[in-house]
Structure 1
Amino acid sequence: MRFNPKARVDQSQFDDRSGRSGGGFGGGGMRLPLPSGGGGKITLGTIVVALLVFFASQMLGGGLGGLTGSSGDGGGDQTSCQTGEQANASDKCAVALFTKSVQDYWTKTFPEQANGQYQPIKSVVFGGQTDSGCGPAASAMGPFYCPNDTTVYLDSTFFDQMLEGDLGAKGGPFSIGYVVAHEYGHHVENQLGILGRMRTQQGPRSDGVKVELMADCLAGMWAKDAQQTVDQDGNRIIEDLNADDISRAIDAAQAVGDDRIQQQSSGRVNPEVWTHGSSAQREHWFNVGLEEGSLRACNTFAPGAL
């Protein structure tokens, strides 16, 4: 695939904090799992703790405020990402245009299938660490959606250093699109009221796994119509999407399966501590969204869905 060189980044949906420092390691939110090991990588256990902190804040009706007064607060410099031509050459700018594509899709689809209006939010691209409404965000945590400030956070080095590096995914532009669409899937779930009703975080049929697999399905829904999305001027955003691009998105979904990461981390697979689902499940639910294009089909909470 490639971006239409004429497509424009919507600056109101993108905050570039790369090159700026913020808070230290920590935070909650809905994130992709990362392997444990050296190099300061987060472990599955740490992910579960972060999720538990988030769930506790939801049940108590409170929020987890980020640190204030650091250089990571506030808006960044978005002027470096403005067009599809730049997005074709930069992962950071690709995130900016994928954000517009995903939100254009849900702006049209959410009212049709959920009887409500989609509320656009913002992607924050940062380098190293920054602050979020779920606490300090660090590159070792991977991309995540923070329900407390309804924002998606992505480290600018994640795709080449972690997704293609440590996780061994094939990579490519549409794998970036999958990650962005998955995190925005959590925002859709939040608007549907699903995140606030979560109670169980671990296990092959836990609410946590159901939410993650549903987000994969919602990412597949976007992928089905990705070439139909447009910028604010009506320019088509994505062009020349082919089977290899879809394959790379599915490969990225498989790379962050709990079983694959557990195998990499410890050589053992234990479904009882899964938080995101297996590689096969992630592939399956992405394909459900891709083939059906329906919120109803993506209901992983339906009896017998898992």
Structure 2
Amino acid sequence: MDFRDDADLDSSQVEDAGGGGGGGGFPGGMVIGGGGIVTLIALVVVFVLNNIGDGGGSRPVQRRPPSNLAQECRTGKDADQSEKCRVVGVVNSVQGYWRTQISGYRQAKTILYSGSLRTACGAASSAVGPFYCPGDQRVYLDLSFFDQLHSRFGAKGGPFAQAYVIAHEYGHHAQHLLSQLGSSGSSVPTELQADCYAGVWAKNAVDTGFYEKPFTSTDIAEALDAAAAVGDDRIQSRTRGRVDPESFTHGSSKQRVNAFQQGYKSGKPADCDQSELR
């Protein structure tokens, strides 16, 4: 997953909010309308793990000053060398793709943060994982989630696993603009469609002008591994010791992998119909 060294990055699409407030516990009043990649199940997992061995209290959070992304992230070469700049590059590519697919596409800014912050969907902390808020049309991302994806959810990780996570959340933005966000009943088809949309972007990413060449089989394997790691059945098995399909919110590992593969094989958003992703 190599960016073109001379690709111009638009850092205005990503804002680093720095670190503020406390983290580690349940966020008050959180309502995630667009869906996060792990949402409530992961929230429970992270809350439990964060409080083992510390007496049940939240851990202190160091305040982190925001980065100046406009200075740090200018070209694709920067994206190959810095995690934050890689986020900028992926966001630029994903939005560049959707701009060609949705008439009047409105950009959604990604907010990088640590600890906690308030959003139009309520108070957010790192415990909720990455999520899209339709209330302010922003993607919220605590970069520590990528470490959790490996250490707590068992994914192999890697740059393209990160790209999959970001593309999934922008899939929710595309749903919002296309009025496809689920408002009632099971959220699984909505989440699987976001996975499928991530695969569609991956198929077309090189055409956005940010990457040297199409993604390799190793890149795609990272995405599939990450999709499997955050399947409801995998998470429930690790945390509860049993699997309850009736309580699924995002789909099983197999469903999530299949949805991404369907999008990647087709390369067309029209082939990500929710009715066919169950």
TM-score class normalised by the smaller sequence: 0.7 to 0.9
Residue 40 of structure 1 deviates from its aligned partner by 4.9
Aligned position for 1:209? 188
For 1:108-138, what per-residue CA distance to the aligned partner results, in whole angstroms no more than 9, with x for missing partners? 123xxxxx32211111111222221111221
Alignment partners' CA distance in 1, 2:157 and 2:49: 22
Residue 293 of structure 1 deviates from its aligned partner by 1.7
How many residue pairs get matched? 254
Aligned position for 2:184? 199
Identity percentage of aligned residues: 43
Closer/same/farther in 2, CA of residues 23 and 13 from structure 1, 3 Å limit: farther
1:120 has 2:107 as partner:
yes
Closer/same/farther in 2, CA of residues 240 and 123 from structure 1, 3 Å limit: same
Residue 273 of structure 1 deviates from its aligned partner by 0.6
For 1:136-192, what per-residue CA distance to the aligned partner results, in whole angstroms no more than 9, with x for missing partners? 2211111000000000010022112x1111111111111111001000000011111
Q: 1:38 aligns with which of 49, 57, 73?
A: 49
Secondary structure in 2 matching 1:2: coil
Q: Which runs of 5+ in 2 are unaligned?
A: 53-62
Q: Which runs of 5+ in 1 are unaligned?
A: 42-70, 111-115, 201-205, 231-235
Give the conservation status (yes or no) of the 8 Å contact 1:210–1:301. Answer: yes
Q: 1:245 aligns with which of 205, 219, 222?
A: 219
Closer/same/farther in 2, CA of residues 279 and 224 from structure 1, 3 Å limit: same
Q: 1:77 aligns with which of 45, 48, 68?
A: 68
1:21 is aligned with what amino acid? G
Aligned position for 1:28? 31
Aligned pairs for 1:229-240 (under 5 A) are 229-230=208-209, 236-239=210-213
Aligned pairs for 1:1-306 (under 5 A) are 1-18=1-18, 20-22=19-21, 25-26=27-28, 27-29=30-32, 30-33=35-38, 34=42, 36=45, 37-40=48-51, 77-78=68-69, 79-110=71-102, 116-160=103-147, 162-195=148-181, 197-200=182-185, 206=186, 208-230=187-209, 236-239=210-213, 241-302=215-276, 305-306=277-278
Give the conservation status (yes or no) of the 8 Å contact 1:22–1:136. Answer: no
Residue 240 of structure 1 deviates from its aligned partner by 5.9
Secondary structure in 2 matching 1:277: coil
2:184 is aligned with what amino acid? R
Give the conservation status (yes or no) of the 8 Å contact 1:288–1:298. Answer: yes
TM-score of the two chains, using structure 2 as the length reference:
0.85
Runs of 4 or more above 3 Å deviation: 236-240
For 1:76-126, what per-residue CA distance to the aligned partner results, in whole angstroms no more than 9, with x for missing partners? 73233332222212222211110000000111123xxxxx32211111111
Secondary structure in 1 matching 2:235: helix
Residue 22 of structure 1 deviates from its aligned partner by 4.5
Secondary structure in 2 matching 1:127: strand
Give the conservation status (yes or no) of the 8 Å contact 2:22–2:115. Answer: no
Alignment partners' CA distance in 2, 1:228 and 1:8: 15
Alignment partners' CA distance in 1, 2:31 and 2:79: 29
Give the conservation status (yes or no) of the 8 Å contact 1:17–1:77. Answer: no
2:92 is aligned with what amino acid? K
Give the conservation status (yes or no) of the 8 Å contact 1:171–1:248. Answer: yes
Alignment partners' CA distance in 2, 1:282 and 1:165: 20
1:270 is aligned with what amino acid? D
Alignment partners' CA distance in 1, 2:154 and 2:17: 26
1:281 is aligned with what amino acid? Q
Residue 294 of structure 1 deviates from its aligned partner by 2.0
Closer/same/farther in 2, CA of residues 127 and 82 from structure 1, 3 Å limit: farther
Give the conservation status (yes or no) of the 8 Å contact 1:256–1:279. Answer: yes
Alignment partners' CA distance in 2, 1:40 and 1:105: 41
For 1:48-100, what per-residue CA distance to the aligned partner results, in whole angstroms no more than 9, with x for missing partners? xxxxxxxxxxxxxxxxxxxxxxx99xx97323333222221222221111000
Alignment partners' CA distance in 1, 2:81 and 2:155: 19
Give the conservation status (yes or no) of the 8 Å contact 1:22–1:131. Answer: no
